[in-house]
Every structure is written in structure tokens, then in C-alpha cells.
Structure 1
Amino acid sequence: MSSVYSVDVEIRAPVNDTEVTARVADAIRNLFPEADPDHREGELVAEVHTMEGFSEELHRAEILDTARSVFFDNLAGDSFAFDLKKQAAFESRVNFAVGEPAELGDIHVGVTVRAPDAESYIDSVAPPTEDGKPIDTE
């Protein structure tokens, strides 16, 4: 991620009565280490301006193609959003939530790219691959 990007990433996760707030906060920080979640009326909310830590997890887990698919499927103008499973995040694993939300809710991530554009940002977070290896597009 050598280019300079202007991006706002909002992270929201419900906190149910049966959950420990600190564990949900840890789940968020495990995938977004820059996050400092605030507790607000039954949920944790955090805003960060980078997805570098998240990108590192995508690379480590070798799920760049999956991430690109999720990001581009949810791209609308300069924004995209996706949901993550809380339990997997607590274990420092990326698991995209699809279909019905989990019983305790999922971590919702909304990304707005101000510069240069959302497609370029997605390419930096989850670069295109060939034979499962990132392609250097620069």
C-alpha cells in the first residue's frame, strides 16, 4: 500500500446481553488493529482511516480473490461494505458473512474512499492474483 489514500472506514458490531463487550472489541481490533471501539447503545463503533492490518490478514489467509469479489459485489460509487463473522474475528481470522446474519450479529464494515477512487483502493487492499499470488500492478 505505497500510494496515499483518503479513506474512512466505519466498523459497527452489535453487543448482546450475553456477550462480553471487551471480547467483541478484541474481535474488531484483531482485524483492524488501528481501531479504538466506542460502546454506544448496544453496539461498538470504531472509525479508522486505513485497512492495512485487514489487508495483511487477507494476504496471510490467502483469500484475496474472495475479498475482491465481496468488495466489488458491494461497490456503489465511492463506497463498499461487507460483514464479518464475530467469532472468526475474535480468533484473528477473516470470515466474510453472507446470507442471514449470525444469531449474535456480524461486524459491519463500511468503506468510503475519497481519493483516488474505490477501485484503486480495493486493488491495494486485495490485489488481483494469478495462480493465487498477488500481481504487482504498479
Structure 2
Amino acid sequence: MIYSVDVRIVAPVRDTEVTDRVADAVRNLFPNAEVAHESGRIVAEAHSLDHFSDLLHEQAILDTARREFGKRRTEDGFSFALKKQAAFRGVVNFAVGNPDELGDVEVHVAVREPTVEEFVDHIAPPTEDGRPVDPDRRRE
């Protein structure tokens, strides 16, 4: 299946932070993103979430990811927020509750193909007993 998505990542850069370190935090989770420095923030664009999906699998947080994607889902895509400090370490940590004092990394995913649901299933498949469920088995 061909996936066509546009990913926009925005991370604030506080006065106490080094801009390049914030850019590195974004690249740690989204290595294929094209990163630009704007006034007071980093803005990045990507067209794949493959590495991010690998991290979700490695950290065994697929159910958490699916829950977070569903909270801010639209018919055209979904959004979620990540903790910047964890991203510095290459770790996915969804931001829930109050925003971090350094500001959260906001990720907006626009899905053109396939459907939003199919794309979410691709990057964070449903699980059974903590293991991804084979998509062919789910259709039975």
C-alpha cells in the first residue's frame, strides 16, 4: 500500500534553549524531516512516520499512541503533542495534561492516502496482549 502523508512538526525554542538542540530533538524522532528555524520556534516537514512507528514498536507503546492519535483526530488526519525533553533522548513521550514549561512538540499529520484509520493502523497497529495484531487476522 502507498501512504501519502504530510507531517508538520512545531517546537517552541525558549530563551534558555539552544535552537540546534531543539532541532536535534525533532530529528531524533523524525530523522527525515526538513527542519527550519523560525522566530522562536523550529518548524519541520516530513512525509513519513516510519522511524516514529519503529520507536512506538520498540517502546511497546502502540496502545498509548492509538489513544493519543484518536483524541485529536479529524477526517483528514490527526495531531498529538510530545515532551521535548524526552525527544532530546530519542524517546517518544506523549504530552498529556499541562504543557511542559519548555513547550511541547506539536505534530500534525494530514493523511491523503489511504484513510486516516488505515494509516494509524500502519504506524501503530492494534494490539492483543501487548503484541501487534496481524492485519489479515483482524479481517476474519
Shared fold (TM-score greater than 0.5)? Answer: yes
Q: TM-score w.r.t. structure 1 length?
A: 0.96
Aligned to 1:15: 13
Q: Within 1, Cα distance between the matches of 2:120 and 2:109?
A: 10
1:108 is aligned, of 102, 106, 113, to: 106
Paired AA for residue 46 in structure 1: A
Partner of 1:74: 72
CA distance in 1, matches of 2:129, 2:77: 28
| Aligned twin of 2:89 | 91
Match of 1:31 among 24, 29, 32: 29
Paired-residue identity, %: 58
Q: Which runs of 4+ in 1 moved over 4 A?
A: none
When the two chains are superposed, the root-mean-square deviation of aligned CA atoms in Å is 0.8
Taking the aligned partners of 1:37 and 1:107, their CA distance within structure 2 comes to: 13
1:89 match: secondary structure: helix
Which stretches in structure 2 are left out of the alignment for 5+ residues? none
Q: CA deviation at 1:25?
A: 0.7
After TM superposition, the score normalised by the length of structure 2 is: 0.95
- What CA distance in whole angstroms lies between the structure 2 residues aligned with 1:28 and 1:56? 15
Match for 2:37: what amino acid? H
- What 5-or-longer segments of structure 1 have no aligned partner? none
Query: 2:70, 2:19 → 1: CA distance?
Result: 31
What secondary structure does 2:108 align onto? strand
Query: Which residue of the partner structure matches residue 128 of structure 2?
Result: 130
Number of aligned residue pairs: give it. Answer: 136
Q: Supply the AA of the counterpart residue of 1:17.
A: D
Please name the residue that 1:40 is paired with: 38
The one-letter code sitting in structure 2 at the alignment partner of 1:23 is R
